[in-house]
Amino acid sequence: MLSAEAEVESIRTVVTKHFDVYGVIVTPLALTFQVRVPPAGVDAPFDGLRQELVPKDYIPTITQEKGETLVHVQRRPKGRFAGVQVNVALLLLTVLTIVFFGGAWNWADYSGKPILSAESIGYGAVFFALPLFAILGCHEMGHYIVAKRYHVRASLPFFLPSVPPLGTLGAFISMRDPIPNRRALLDIGVSGPLVGFAIAIPVTLAGLALSTASTALPPNAVGEAIRPSILFSFLSLFFPLPSSFSLHPLAFAGWVGLFVTAINLLPAGQLDGGHVARALLGRRQFYVSWAAVLVLFSLSFVTTYPGWFIFGFLILMLGVRHPPPLNDLTRLDPARKLVGIVAVAILIVTFVPQPFAPVGTQRELAFEAVPGFPFPINATIALASSIRLVFALNDTGAAPENVVVNLRENNLNEFGFVIRFTALQIGTATTPVNTDTLTFRLNASQRAVLDLNVTAPASWGTSSLPATVTFAVHATTPDGALQRDLLIMLQVTS
């Protein structure tokens, strides 16, 4: 091990190979060399210095302070990185989950075939798992190859398994060396989204072409559907698609690829878009990063999509501020600024504020007839007599509902009418009651049969008979979102 004096001299020797050094400042944290800027600029000599020092576990940075150009050199602790076996294990596990929880799941949903059938597994793998895997894998390899070009060590992709409907949470690579300059920061950051974007477009086009043969959804279909981005909507114009249709799994894979591109290009933290923003804006990227996080939190409330809150929280946990590159002095050339603007444009046309939206009527109640009893109800009742009215209330929506049913008597009680529910039947269970208000719960497609007893007054006063009176049975959910009325007409006779 070198002595302190020998170590300082060794580092000075390396620095003087690339810069004209006129002073050295030794501090407990770093060696600082006062250098003269070469006529051609600091970019090339500093990159040569970086490539020589980083393999020796030293990290150089270059700054300008009070009119001086300073090169700082610090020791870097030896890193402990996961072996390739971790990448391989996660890759194999993700292949299984993306085939079964992604491909087979989506093909079964599209075709109606059993999820574990050979058709669902085979076609799902071809039309969903493979294209999505290609988009995600090529995205990360774009980062990896460009990082190698800049002599920045990076891990192989770590794929992340997940549950349906995608079967994967994506992939990431680990940068094991600091980024040398803004040019490398932009190139490494933007390369993955550009490659993934380039693959996602033909996948989306092919999927939309296959979707033209899909059956149209019935008018009463319920569930969730994807919301298209600006680009996805534009690509859809090239195909004669019905107003509502089952999206082919290949088109869904393309949509996911475009959506992942948008998420990665958010200008926050150390996302790919954070790299691009830091390269374009320098330290001002910090404010853009905070703005992006606040937008995500706001979207989670406006659109009720919880994913934005999760993404915003993760960015906060990982850090909103992006570390500077080692050489933050050299600015971007016009061509790379244009590439950065293109990345912003891609973010705009691929971002979806509300990725998923409900399809059809999710919640619905309906009054219905019961066999053997008239419906709509228009009955005759004599004075001082009672009649039994029977009808049903059906939850025709896609979800269970709590229901409150009461009477709107139109002041009939003041004329001596007595109207009461006497029985409630749900399924095979019948409950005797004697009330003017019922509260119960219905599952989707389940109905309640209600017995209503109406007793007329003994006398009618000075008005002539027959006379027609009306009242209503009112059904609502506790939140008031669903409200239905059943109008009942009575012909009163003597």
pLDDT digits (tens, 9 = 90+) for 274-325: 999 999 999 999 999 999 999 999 999 988 888 899 999 999 998 999 999 9
Taking only the tens place, the pLDDT of each residue in 315-358 is 999 899 999 999 999 899 999 999 999 999 999 999 999 998 76
- Share of residues in the chain with pLDDT > 70 (%): 96
Residue 249, pLDDT above cutoff 70: yes
More confident residue, 3 or 252: 252
Q: pLDDT-derived band of residue 460, with 50, 70 and 90 as boundaries?
A: confident
Question: Is 365-493 the same fold as 4-75?
Answer: no
Q: What is the pLDDT at residue 361?
A: 53
DSSP, res 255:
H
Task: Report the alpha-carbon distance of residue 67 to residue 123 in Å, rounded.
Answer: 65
Residue 222, pLDDT above cutoff 80: no
Q: Domain boundaries in the chain?
A: 4-75, 84-359, 365-493
Taking only the tens place, the pLDDT of each residue in 138-168 is 999 999 999 999 999 999 999 999 988 899 9
The contacts found for 481-488 with CB under 8 angstroms, 24 or more apart, are 481/363, 482/363, 482/364, 482/365, 482/401, 484/365, 484/366, 484/367, 484/393, 485/408, 486/367, 486/376, 486/377, 486/391, 487/376, 487/377, 488/377, 488/378, 488/379, 488/389
Q: pLDDT-derived band of residue 221, with 50, 70 and 90 as boundaries?
A: low
Phi, then psi, of 139 in degrees rounded to 5: -55, -50
CATH fold, domain 4-75, is Gyrase A; domain 2 (3.30.1360)
Q: Do 60 and 326 touch, CB atoms closer than 8 A?
A: yes
Q: What is the pLDDT at residue 353?
A: 93
Does domain 365-493 sit in CATH 3.40.50.2000? Answer: no
DSSP string, 164-203: TTTSEEEEE--B-S---BHHHHHHHHHHHHHHHHHHHHHH
Q: What is the pLDDT at residue 16?
A: 92
| Buried-state track 148-184, b at ≥16 Cβ within 10 A, e below 16 | eebebebbbbbbebbeeebbbebbbbebebbbbbbbb
Residue 1, pLDDT above cutoff 80: no
Rounded to two decimals, what is the model's pTM? 0.72
More confident residue, 397 or 107: 107
Taking only the tens place, the pLDDT of each residue in 357-399 is 766 556 789 999 999 998 989 999 999 999 999 999 998 877 7
Residue 35, pLDDT above cutoff 60: yes
Query: Over the chain, what is the mean pLDDT?
Result: 90
Residue 261, pLDDT above cutoff 80: yes
What is the distance of C-alpha 72 from the center of its chain? 43
Beta carbons within 8 Å of 84's beta carbon, 6+ residues apart = 156
Residue 243, pLDDT above cutoff 70: no
Q: pLDDT-derived band of residue 478, with 50, 70 and 90 as boundaries?
A: confident
Residue whose token pair is 């896609």: 398
Taking only the tens place, the pLDDT of each residue in 398-440 is 777 889 999 998 888 888 899 999 999 998 889 999 999 999 9
Beta carbons within 8 Å of 17's beta carbon, 6+ residues apart = 48, 49, 52
Q: Do 260 and 135 touch, CB atoms closer than 8 A?
A: yes
Stretch 40-62: mean pLDDT: 91
